[in-house]
Chain A
Amino acid sequence: MNPWLQHLPVLPVLIPLLAGALMLLTRDSQRRLRVTLGAVALGLMALTALMLVRATQGIGAPHWPDGIGVYLLGNWPAPFGIVLVADRLAALMLGLTAVLGLCAWIYATARWDRAGSHFHPLFLLIMMGLNGAFLAGDLFNLFVFFEILLTASYGLMLHGSGKRRVGAALHYIAVNLIASFLLLVAIALIYGLTGTLNLADLSVRALALHGADRQLFDSAAAILGAAFLIKAAAWPLNFWLPNTYSEAAAPVAALFAIMTKVGIYALLRIGSLLLPAGAPAAFGGAWMFPAGIATLAFGTLGMLASTQARRIAAYAIITSSGTLFAALGMPGATLTGPALYYLLSSVLALGALFLLLELTERSQSFGADMLAITQEAFESDDPGAADLSGQAVGVPLPATMAFLGLSFFACALLIIGLPPLSGFVAKFSLLSAALRTAEYGAPTVNVWLLVAAMLSSGVAGLIALGRCGVRLFWVPEDLHVPTLRLNEAIPILVLLSACVLLTARAGSVMAYLEDTAWYLDQPGRYVEAVLGQDPHVFPAPDAGHGGRR
């Protein structure tokens, strides 16, 4: 086996960090260099994620027992050193991030990366934060990677500037700073009680807590959960989201589609590891289910009430978060697999929708004007902008409106959950799994509440997106066909065909996800893998002679 392959789990963090740092050494005007670097880095990240997904399945090069790869940074054994853990869930999220990131980035190279400075380094740093958060094996590094991705997201959120965008960013940053403080308080409390920050070690030590310590631990976990619920946009902690997502630049908003899922990932991961000790309220059904139903209701009403297309998309993100909360808040692990499938499908679809909406808004001529003005403001004294004239004209693709219309239709089908695409498979499997949990003693009221909330959110999505589609595509008077560049059309096509692939290969994808869910339900294996990982022993210099000193 290639000895370098053991370093696979650290690559998703290292590649974007190095590429982002190198880019900072270049100037904004050296755009071609930055784009090349970015393409190489994002391509490598996608490759690494693919290899990790295969490795966690037991196919391919690094052989990990149970498919859990543990990487000891600094070669210290687990509870003392920092660990990165690549298991099925982490590999899945890394893969999703890589696909979405690559598509959003390709889209941005068409024009958005020139609407402000340092787009490319920020984009790579946010990818690093996302990847790191999925791999982190201890609470404090989870916090640090959260901060990295949030700080980069502040920069990206402000990208393109403008009064409304800065106003929305102000709220977004404020809410996230406070959430970070909550996270810190919770982490400090947990450390004070258990003396550990390593998630696997925490899972073991939480068992030994009882009495007042246990109560304090539960409140610490509740604060931790509240911090993650803010990031994951659970009602009533999500009023920052619609403004932020609808004001962000299109490729940024598309990438943000995965940001709420980081919070859900953290809740799922920590909830699974605290299972043996009895998951505290925030990670179990006690909070997640009602929060999920409320979030779903809020998202549904928001979609119906919105008039702007982008706000509908932002509320669709809230709806998808709500569905995930409600599904993961149901007892048992039956819904985890379908919920993860829903996560994949909804993130890809929402990413595509955000990209698409910007293109269609260009046909309304209003958005295009705004963008042109911001671009002009930033480009006016840029010496590297000489090649812009050719691109500003663009290459008109044949049947642009047909492409936009069909893609919008596909996105709508995916989000509403109508056949034949993966949105339907996701919702159908969620609903059928929910009905099955009734047999295992889940309260019948909850099951029907979930079914009703999901179906009504689908109906609301149908009404809202249908109305929105009519307004965008069926108004022939003031419609002018936008020029569409290939690197704007391809990302949308890739995202949508990923959804088609999810539908076509639903069986094998679902098998992987059911495996993931099973491992999440058996946190013992994760704990064993992390705590049992021995540091790498370097051979002594004289080992070849067979003798010891």
Chain B
Amino acid sequence: MEWILALAIGVLAGSGVWLLLRPRTFQFIMGLALLGYAVNLFIFAMGRLRVDAPPVIDPAWADPARYADPLPQALVLTAIVIGFATTALFLVVLLASRGMSDTDHVDGEEHRP
């Protein structure tokens, strides 16, 4: 499972960075979304990978060592919300820029060789 998750994060982050370096705003926002997924998965993985383990613990009858760490799950939720909001905001700016400059180049103008 570690391999699959690590590969998934790596591929997502790699494609994300590649897209970020492209000149079109749409490619940029796609790259941002992919990078966001990679980061969120990464935060999630930092709570160690556990399957079928409930996150909420009652120490009276349970051994905390047998349970998944709930904190990264809370963190990732916050990160997802913030990432979603900022991406949406960026989309608006992107459309505004597209409307004002008549191009989807990130610099607002075409660079012709």
Give residues in A with beta carbon < 8 Å to B.
140, 144, 147, 150-151, 154, 158, 161-163, 166-167, 169-171, 173-174, 177-178, 180-181, 184-185, 187-189, 191-192, 197
Interface string of B79-113 (1 = CB under 8 A from A): 10010011101100110110011000011100000
Given known contacts A184-B43, A184-B79, A192-B47, what 17 new A-B pairs fall within 8 Å (CB)? A140-B78, A151-B85, A151-B89, A167-B107, A170-B106, A170-B108, A171-B106, A173-B90, A174-B20, A174-B28, A174-B106, A177-B32, A180-B82, A185-B39, A185-B43, A189-B46, A197-B71
**Known: A170-B94, A178-B35. Contact between A188 and B107, CB under 8 A?**
no
> B72 in the interface, Cβ–Cβ < 8 Å?
yes
> B7 in the interface, Cβ–Cβ < 8 Å?
no
Cβ–Cβ contact B46 & A188, under 8 A: yes
**Known: A167-B108, A170-B108, A188-B46. Contact between A177 and B90, CB under 8 A?**
yes
Interface size counted on chain B using CB atoms at 8 A? 33
B residues within 8 A CB of A147?
82, 86
CA distance A61 to B90 in the complex (A): 45
Residue in A151, A163, A177, A184 whose beta carbon sits within 8 Å of that of B100 in the complex: A163
CB of A162 to closest CB in B, whole Å: 8
CA distance A151 to B84 in the complex (A): 12
A residues within 8 A CB of B107?
167
Q: How many A-B Cβ pairs are below 8 Å? A: 86
Interface string of B17-44 (1 = CB under 8 A from A): 0001000010010001001100100110
> B6 in the interface, Cβ–Cβ < 8 Å?
no
B residues within 8 A CB of A140?
75, 78
**Known: A177-B86, A178-B20, A188-B75. Contact between A167 and B97, CB under 8 A?**
yes
A residues within 8 A CB of B86?
147, 150-151, 154, 173, 177, 180
Cβ–Cβ contact B20 & A170, under 8 A: no
Cβ–Cβ contact A188 & B25, under 8 A: no
B residues within 8 A CB of A177?
32, 86-87, 90
CA distance A174 to B106 in the complex (A): 10
CB of B12 to closest CB in A, whole Å: 12
* Chain A, interface SS category: helix
**Known: A154-B89, A185-B39. Contact between A166 and B75, CB under 8 A?**
no
CB of A196 to closest CB in B, whole Å: 10
CB of B9 to closest CB in A, whole Å: 10
Residue in B36, B47, B71, B93 whose beta carbon sits within 8 Å of that of A170 in the complex: B93
Cβ–Cβ contact A170 & B89, under 8 A: no
Interface string of B51-82 (1 = CB under 8 A from A): 00000000000000000000110010011001
Chain A's closest residue to B76 (CB) is: A188
Cβ–Cβ contact B36 & A181, under 8 A: yes
A residues within 8 A CB of B43?
184-185, 187-188
CA distance A392 to B79 in the complex (A): 45
CB of B112 to closest CB in A, whole Å: 18
Cβ–Cβ contact A191 & B90, under 8 A: no
CB of B6 to closest CB in A, whole Å: 13
CA distance A333 to B75 in the complex (A): 35
A-B pairs, top 8 by smallest CB distance, nearest first, are A192-B46, A167-B108, A188-B43, A188-B46, A163-B100, A181-B39, A147-B82, A166-B97
Name 18 A/B residue pairs within 8 A (Cβ), A-sorted. Answer: A140-B78, A144-B78, A150-B86, A151-B89, A158-B96, A166-B97, A167-B101, A167-B107, A167-B108, A170-B25, A171-B106, A174-B32, A177-B87, A178-B32, A178-B35, A180-B86, A184-B43, A192-B46
Cβ–Cβ contact B82 & A158, under 8 A: no
A residues within 8 A CB of B72?
188, 191-192
CA distance A173 to B95 in the complex (A): 14
